[in-house]
Amino acid sequence: MDSLLIPRGVQRTTFGRFLLWLLPWSALLLVGLYAIYLCLIEGLYHTNMDNRFAFGIWIFLDLTVIALGAGAFFTGFLLYILRRTELKAVINSAVIIGLICYSGAVLVLMVDVGQPLRAWFTFWHPNTHSMLTEVTFCLTCYLIVLLIEYIPIVLKNRQLRQIPKFLVFEFQLHKLMPVFAGIGTLLSFFHQGSLGGLFGVLRGRPFAFREELGIWPSTFFLFVISAAAAGPSFIMLTTRLAEAVTRKRLVRDDVYRFLGRVSGIMLIAYVLLKTVDTLIWINSTSPGSGFPAFEFYATRSFGTWILFTEIVLFGLLPALVLLSERMRRNRRVLFTAGALVCCGVLLNRFVMTIQTLALPTLPFDAFLTYLPSWEEVAAFLFVIAYGMILYSVTYRYATVFPQEKELSMARADGAEAPAPSFPRRPSFVTALIDRFASSKL
């Protein structure tokens, strides 16, 4: 029965070895499930969060996961809206990763709230003056969009395609993908931005507070652009990880290079805006609040080195590498730069959550440290285990990488298959992006 569900023309490991692969992730899943049970049934005293550290490791990792999951909406935007058909090779993988990231983030947020029976209050009694209300609605709606986009991947299973109703439904749903891609882009833009804007309006936390651009603080736009920069890099890294685990070529090198180029374009824009934002904060915003900026970097744990690392080592350096066509042709350099981009987003979310809350804002406040409890760590490891299981099962029984069959045949013949041409509908926006993206440093 297992062999009948595997797509034609591709090879998968034996069912026994596949179960052995799932065994450690299932064990980790059970441990995380127990930790979630303790937090929901017995209360949040199982965590190390308190009135000072109301945002702990869950919020920090949620922000990171949501930013890395942005590859789903940005890849869909480039493929279905801007007609960059090169990304057909990874769009299914991007949807699965986005679904894992967003569903895992919503689950952890539900545990963090600690009142599952009152979860519906957010929708029925929304606080219209809170950015978290916008985040809640956008996250929920985008998760529904991701589920809809995931359905055609499942329905492409060769056994399900033999059912006429499923085949027709999958065909009709596929024609609506551009609509869902546009909706997903709109929803992701606002919830990514609102997560950043949440910190930018904290007047009681001068380290995070920023001036407004229009009606939103600058952190609103910085979060959007950084997520758009990290998303393609994360798709690139996860695809390479899948290749390493399966020991197969799943996509062509030109797909990797294109993802790297897109990530580099967005990252250099983010670095420039982040630099301007930091200079304005140092010279105007922070002194205007009565806090010289250097005081926020007086502690050894959060010295100026962390600002240099975020902007230069994890920002400017990988951006320049990814914008260089010669550098992108070196796979090791390409993937290293992509990893630095993801580390940069992780560091930025850490700074905005943990560092913001650790720094004292009153003369009698002390610098506080925070270490998560094992329940907090296990609950998040639950998300990782769940993601690995979902991705593994989907890869085994569905066509996640359309180029896999062709590349496997080419490898068997001992020759690389020629790179296909990708016809796309020309547009003014696409022409501008092509002209900028093809420029060499």
Query: Which residues, in sequence order, are bridge partners of residue 213?
Result: 216
Closest alpha carbon to 348 in 188, 180, 226: 226
Whose tokens are 């440093």? That residue is 441
Extract the tokens encoding 418.
């020629």
Extract the tokens encoding 172.
């009709």
> Which value, in Å, is the radius of gyration of the alpha carbons in the chain?
23
Whose tokens are 């229009």? That residue is 214
Say if pTM beats, i.e. exceeds, 0.75: yes
CA distance to 195, 258, 353, per residue, from 131 (Å): 8, 34, 16
CA pair distance 142, 98, nearest whole angstrom: 10
Residue 128's Cβ-count burial label (10 Å; 0-12, 13-18, 19+) is exposed
Query: Which residues, in sequence order, are bridge partners of residue 217?
Result: 212
Contacts of 249 (CB under 8 A, 6+ apart): 243, 404, 407, 408, 411
Extract the tokens encoding 269.
């824009």
What is the SS3 assignment for 217?
strand
Query: Hey, where are the domains in the chain?
Result: 2-413
The answer to whether the beta carbons of residues 293 and 287 sit under 8 Å apart is yes
Whose tokens are 């922070």? That residue is 286
Residue 423 main-chain phi, psi, to 5 deg:
-70, 140
pLDDT tens string, the chain, 441 residues long: the values are 678 888 888 888 899 999 999 999 999 999 999 999 998 888 888 888 887 777 778 888 888 999 998 888 888 888 888 888 888 999 999 999 999 999 998 888 888 877 777 778 878 888 888 878 888 888 888 889 899 889 988 888 878 888 888 888 888 887 888 888 888 888 888 888 888 888 888 888 888 999 888 778 999 999 999 999 999 999 999 999 999 999 889 999 999 999 999 999 999 999 999 999 999 999 999 898 888 888 888 887 888 999 999 999 999 999 999 999 999 999 999 999 999 999 999 999 999 988 888 888 877 778 887 888 899 999 989 999 999 999 999 999 998 998 888 887 766 555 554 554 444 444 444 454 455 455 443
